[in-house]
Amino acid sequence: MIEKYDYDIIVVGAGTAGMTAALYALRGGKTVLLLEKETFGGQISFSPRVENFPSIKEIAGSEFADNLFEQVTHHGAQVELETVQSVVKDGVGFIVTTDYRSYTSKAVVIAAGVKHRHLGLPREEEFLGKGVYYCALCDGDFYRGEEVSLIGDGNTALQYALLLSNICSKVTVITMFDKFFGEPTLVERLKARDNVEIIQGYLAESFIGEDKFEGILFRETNGTKSLEVRTKAVFVAIGQVPDNHCFEGIVSLDKQGFIIADETTATITDGVYAAGDCRVKKVRQLTTAVADGANAAIAACSYIDRI
């Protein structure tokens, strides 16, 4: 049994949902530890432009994340760059173990986000960073003035393609289906670019190149035709997958690995809440991440006040 808690609330993940949870918890008078394994700000940090957040006409995703991080630390959040390995309930509290040490808290908010979905092709890891990339904002400038390709059909893919079209001589966009699934305004912008070629209805089948990456071989999604795309680099933007395996003992996961939580973000374990992209939900947007973070913190504070 825990005799003295290190913190009132431990938040796992410093994306938008996690940092919002930390902010609301701090404003509620609770002590907070924010644990992040990679990048403060989460997925939004890699978005070149945010135009759908209320009251902000336009902002770079990295700037939005930096502002939120500064706000949270200003209000007193303790922040550590560590990878959580397990969360264990001990009495009414919790022991959170990272790759460095263990911490104790009265409640836990899991906001672990998601990671990039890979194509799943042979040699993908071999070409990673040597022709195959998952973040155009991070790596696009390496191919300034070159011809590149992009695979994907959602908002992230559209934003990446627009970004690349500003710095690359040509961008070939390949989608699995015969349409885009992103915002119509982004689709219109992309189609208006003279240096963008759109190829729809093709699925990546294998990489071209022996000693180095030279392109990708595609086949028709609903046919037998093959398509060879020779390119300097390919940027993959086909969605994200959860990384919740270390929480399996404390929460329930669906078949895809997302955490099952109700609309208050409560999980099957009292005192554990799931916020943001890591949980089962229909809409994954910046605004819904903020809402989840606020709900999780309020619920966690209420739980602490009851125990």
Task: Spot the catalytic one: 138, 141, 178, 254.
Answer: 138
Active site residue 246: no
Whether 153 and 297 share a structural domain: no
Examine the fold and report which residue of 220, 236, 252 is the final residue of a domain before the chain moves on.
Answer: 236
Query: 198 and 97, same structural domain?
Result: no
What is the C-alpha separation between 138 and 43, in angstroms, rounded?
Answer: 12
Residue 130 and residue 223 share a domain: yes
Residues 249 and 231 in one domain: no
- At 50 the pLDDT is 87
**Domain check: are 108 and 139 in the same one?**
no
The reply to whether 188 falls in a domain is yes
Name the catalytic one among 6, 139, 243, 262: 139
Q: Angle formed by the axes of helices 184-191 and 155-167, to 10°?
A: 30
Which is catalytic among the residues 135, 243, 246, 262? 135
Supply the Cα-derived Rg of the chain in whole angstroms.
Answer: 21
Joined tokens for residue 153 = 């059909």
Is residue 2 situated within a structural domain?
no
Residue length, the chain? 307
d(CA 159, CA 50): 10
Q: Do residues 74 and 148 both lie within one domain?
A: no
- Specify if 228 maps to a domain: yes
Q: Is 135 tagged catalytic?
A: yes
pLDDT at residue 19, as a whole number: 98
Assigned domain for 1 exists:
no
Let me know if 141 is a catalytic residue. Answer: no
Residue 120 tokens, joined: 């799943």
The predicted-structure confidence for 221-230, as pLDDT tens digits, reads as follows: 999 999 999 9
Assigned domain for 87 exists = yes
31 and 68: one domain?
yes
Residues 162 and 83 placed together within one structural domain of the fold: no
Confirm whether 264 is domain-assigned: yes
CATH classification of the domain holding 105: 3.50.50.60
Beta strand 93-98 pairing with 84-90:
antiparallel
pLDDT in tens, 123-144: 999 999 999 999 898 889 999 9
Say yes or no: 95 and 141 in one domain: no
- Is 252 inside a domain boundary? yes
Same domain, 187 and 156: yes
Q: Are residues 218 and 297 in the same domain?
A: no
Q: Do residues 89 and 13 both lie within one domain?
A: yes
Q: Is residue 278 part of a domain?
A: yes
Identify the domain boundary among 236, 255, 282. 236
Count: domains in the chain: 2
**In this structure, is the dihedral angle defined by the CA atoms of residues 181, 182, 188 and 194, taken in order, positive or negative?**
negative
Q: 273-298 burial string, b = 16+ CB within 10 Å, else e?
A: bbbbbbbbbeebebebbbbbbbbbbb
Composition of the chain by helix, strand, coil, percent to 5: 30, 30, 40
291 is written with which tokens? 């809402």
Q: Which pLDDT tens digits describe the chain residue by residue (307 residues)? A: 787 999 999 999 999 999 999 999 999 999 999 999 988 998 888 887 888 899 999 999 999 999 999 999 999 999 999 999 999 999 999 999 999 999 999 999 999 999 889 999 999 999 999 999 998 988 899 999 999 999 999 999 999 999 999 999 999 999 999 999 999 999 999 999 999 999 999 999 999 998 899 999 999 999 999 999 999 999 999 988 998 999 998 999 999 999 999 999 999 999 999 999 999 998 888 999 999 999 999 999 999 999 9
Q: Domain boundary at 236, 264, 285, which?
A: 236
Domain enclosing residue 297, as ranges: 7-115+240-306
